[in-house]
Amino acid sequence: MRIKSFAGWTFIITLLVVLLGGLNPYMAQAKPSRAETAVTYVGTITGEADVFVGVGLVGEEATIYICDGQADKNTVSVAEWFIGPISRGQIEILNESNNRAQATLNGKTGEGQFTFADGSVKAFTVTLVEGEASGLFRSEFGFGANQFIGGWIILPDGSVRGAVLQRATPDTPAILTPATFIDFSVDNSAENNLAVVEKLPLDTLPAAVSRDEGAEHGALTMTLPGTPSAQLVGQVVSGAAGQIGEVTRTGDVLIFTFTEITYNVAPMQLQGGLSIGPQTIQLDPSQPNTLEVNLKTGVISRNFHWILTATDVLYNGQPSIVLGDTAKAEVAEVNDLGGNVYNIRLLTHWRSVISLDTWTINGTTLPSGEVIATAEFDGVYTLDFNH
């Protein structure tokens, strides 16, 4: 993943990798240089204070972004990029959607308008960004066959509008999702991972991975299609105690191979009396489920496949449905229990989009569309190097 900041002169290159529970950003930061100096303006649409606009200038190229994505409300209706040359101080860009952006910048202020393919016009005003608390940010990364483009605009008061566009191929419909800036921001997790791994007796591998009953817990929220305020919320607790995998090493790569992970989801209540009974989330036993740690870089990658199974829900006509998983996770701490046994605490911020053509709860049909599932997990795993 690459996050490009047009705020001030900071440019950050980020490698996004996948880890247990989903996607986790790990940072490889390029040193700022004056050659990378950018000028950034941010503002809003005239008469529509909730729609933000960002303008970034680097050399003779301009980047303009309009977005109204609000992750806390799970809403987004526009997220359009315009990238093109600056001509004689004027900006006029026609993007691939046949929408046009025009802008004129004068020192510390600027103004312009968007003319959309449907004929609608939106005027905007922007002001120069000073400092690095606000700005325009863009990220691009791939995950499997899917390509993602994220964009965020941060105003001086800290207000954020952002969204991520997902597309499998140029010919497939794009999926637009609101996203907070923290969802794709950078940290020093890779460095932290190396510090944690150095505490483990890797010369005594392999090691068994296990957890106690209820050792991992969290809250699962399912936002219903077309109704951001309609949510199902339930507690999630890990299943029975026992061994769930093994750790081995190949060269400079530490490999966690998981054979069984189960989560129990408590009943979920929806306003109006509708509820979902107990559910389970399990690893798909027919698929490989691994987590790998690069011992040189600290980068963690994962390959996990999950299945959600209900007792009184039919997802696309079936009681079970495959879950994708995109999220962030971090190793919070490691403890030496003695005798070559260690505990690792993992915090996971998980997210999945479930596409439903049909779904029913206790025979009641709900609107089709995308159910957005999110969860925050806090779990402790035991590594036994006497295995």
pLDDT at 33: 28
pLDDT at 30: 25
pLDDT at 29: 27
pLDDT at 110: 95
Q: Which fold has domain 195-384?
A: Lipocalin (2.40.128)
Report which of 151, 153, 49, 57 is spatially closest to residue 107, judged by C-alpha positions.
57
Range list for CATH 2.40.128 in the chain: 195-384
Q: What is the pLDDT of residues 312-335, one digit of tens each?
A: 999 999 999 998 766 566 677 788
Phi, psi of 364 (to 5 degrees): -90, 125
- Could you tell me how far CA 216 lies from the centroid of its own chain? 21
Mark out the alpha helices in the chain (DSSP H runs): 189-197
Q: Which residue has the tokens 């925050």?
A: 376
Which two tokens mark 298? 């600290």
Question: Which string of b and e fits 223-235 if b means at least 16 CB within 10 Å?
Answer: bbbeeeebbbebe
Query: Do the beta carbons of residue 147 and residue 171 sit within 8 Å?
Result: no
Residues of the chain with pLDDT under 70: 1-37, 132, 141-146, 167-173, 179-190, 226-230, 271-272, 325-330
Report which of 117, 153, 156, 152 is spatially closest to residue 133, judged by C-alpha positions.
156
Question: Which string of b and e fits 146-168 if b means at least 16 CB within 10 Å?
Answer: ebbbbbbbbbeeeebbbbbbbbe
